[in-house]
Amino acid sequence: MYRDYIHRSTRRYRNVIQKAGRLHITDPRHLTAILWNDGLYFELHELLETFWLETHGNERTALKGLIQAAGVYVHSLRGNLRAARGLAVRARENLNQGLACLDFISGVDMLIQCLEDPAAPPPKLGRIGPGR
């Protein structure tokens, strides 16, 4: 079980590194959709937290919503739907409030809608920016 998890994660990490290199991505915000779409929600959460603390206002709120949304799917994939549902409510509020600051990804409207049912598969996000 753990060996499979490590192999899957390693393949996903390699995929993200290759895509980021091929697209010449240097801004961590532009990695958001790549990490998300590869199912690396915990890693996305960690990446966003590295610069979330330095932001203010609606940008801080928006990034907090993305961090929370990633947490929703971490909980959901682990079978903890109660925690996922509670976090989804807060994520939706923060994403709605900071939506204008998330101009580096597309599909946030669909994400907000999907967070109504954290047990459903997460939506794909699109990248806006370098290497698009």
Q: Give the pLDDT confidence score for residue 109 in this predicted structure.
A: 95
What does the pLDDT look like over 21-42, one tens digit per residue?
998 988 888 899 999 999 999 9
pLDDT class for 129, splitting at 50, 70, 90? low
**CATH 1.10.155 holds for 2-127:** no
Query: Which amino acid, 127?
Result: R
Q: Give the pLDDT confidence score for residue 45 in this predicted structure.
A: 93
pTM of structure: 0.89
8-17, 59-68, 108-117 — which is least confidently predicted?
A: 8-17
- What residue ranges do the domains of the chain occupy? 2-127
Following DSSP, what letter does each residue of 63-104 receive, concatenated? HHHHHHHHHHHHHHHTT-HHHHHHHHHHHHHHHHHHGGG-TT
